[in-house]
Amino acid sequence: MTGHLPKPQVDMRKAHPARVYDWLLGGKDNYEVDRAVGKQLPLVARRSARQNRAFMTRAAGWLAGEGVDQFLDIGTGIPTVPNLHQVVQRIVPTARVVYADNDPIVLRHAEALLVSTPDGETDYVQADVRRPDLILEHARRSLDFGGPVAVSLVALLHFVGDADDPYDIVRTLVGALAPGSFLVLSHGTFDFEPDGARTIAAPYQSGGITIHPRSRAEVERFFEGLDLVEPGLVIAPKWRKDKQRPSQARSAVYAGVAAVRAP
């Protein structure tokens, strides 16, 4: 890790998406308020969390295999092995990774666990995705935006409402990227969960978390002006899945990876 991190301030009375997600993945770095939300969620939510994590791992590995050695992971969440930098530095030991999240619990674990290889680098910024300018300002201390950078927004933007204009957030981030860079994005949807407002949104709301699931067309908008790589925008378990393992067709998450075009 590099840089100086502020002392975490944690409100244990309110659930946080990163800690609920940690519980859904079987983690232990969560509080009772987070578990209370998670226990109300249906099986498809737990399955989708695992599918989403597996997508992140496959996407990061594919990008590293394509030669990408700089990553900006926004909405990092509680560290869960393998973390993004572990995936990519296994392939490219000199890879540099900047993590960004607004949860101080994530911050605390980042200090202890997000440790780079000797030849690579990891850094962390405590910041909200709603301030992409601040995230980019910090990331430029570690990453060279004159070359390819992969920006990861995995299972994050469904926590950002229309009032905060998530599309403009993505445009700001992508606008800072050089040709040959990539956007990695996954997003919750109720396209296949007609009762999702009751079974998924309501439990989150009980913990003070509002979610904003979006349709396939709405998620596709995040990739406007970019070139989606094969297989395009699909449900998470179908993105470059391991052909040796059957994929579960049901998922509440869309996923895609897209390249930044040359001007």
CATH number at residue 145: 3.40.50.150
What are the pLDDT digits (tens) for 138-148? Answer: 999 999 999 99
Q: How far apart are CA 216 and CA 172, in angstroms?
A: 22
Whether 4 maps to a domain, the answer reads no
Are the beta carbons of 178 and 149 closer than 8 angstroms? yes
Whether 46 maps to a domain, the answer reads yes
Q: How far apart are CA 141 and CA 199, in angstroms?
A: 42
Whether 41 maps to a domain, the answer reads yes
- Structure token digits, residue 171: 């445009």
Res 4: pLDDT:
46
Res 153: pLDDT:
99
Task: Report if pTM > 0.85.
Answer: yes
Can you list the pairs that 78-83 forms with residues at least 24 positions away whose Cβ atoms lie under 8 Å? 78/18, 78/19, 78/21, 78/22, 78/27, 78/29, 78/30, 78/105, 78/106, 78/109, 79/106, 79/109, 79/110, 79/113, 79/114, 80/22, 80/25, 80/27, 80/53, 82/57, 83/113, 83/114
Whether 139 maps to a domain, the answer reads yes
Query: Domains in the chain: how many in total?
Result: 1
State which residues form the domain around 110: 17-260
Res 79: pLDDT:
80
Whether 194 maps to a domain, the answer reads yes
Res 70: pLDDT:
99
Res 137: pLDDT:
97
Res 247: pLDDT:
56
What are the pLDDT digits (tens) for 108-119? Answer: 777 666 677 788
Task: Look at strands 253-260 and 234-235 and give their pairing.
Answer: antiparallel
Whether 124 maps to a domain, the answer reads yes
Whether 12 maps to a domain, the answer reads no
Whether 5 maps to a domain, the answer reads no
The position carrying tokens 């509440």 is 252
- Structure token digits, residue 112: 């202890």
Amino acid identity for residue 222 in this structure: F
Residues of the chain scoring pLDDT < 50: 1-5
Task: Look at strands 70-74 and 150-154 and give their pairing.
Answer: parallel
Res 109: pLDDT:
76
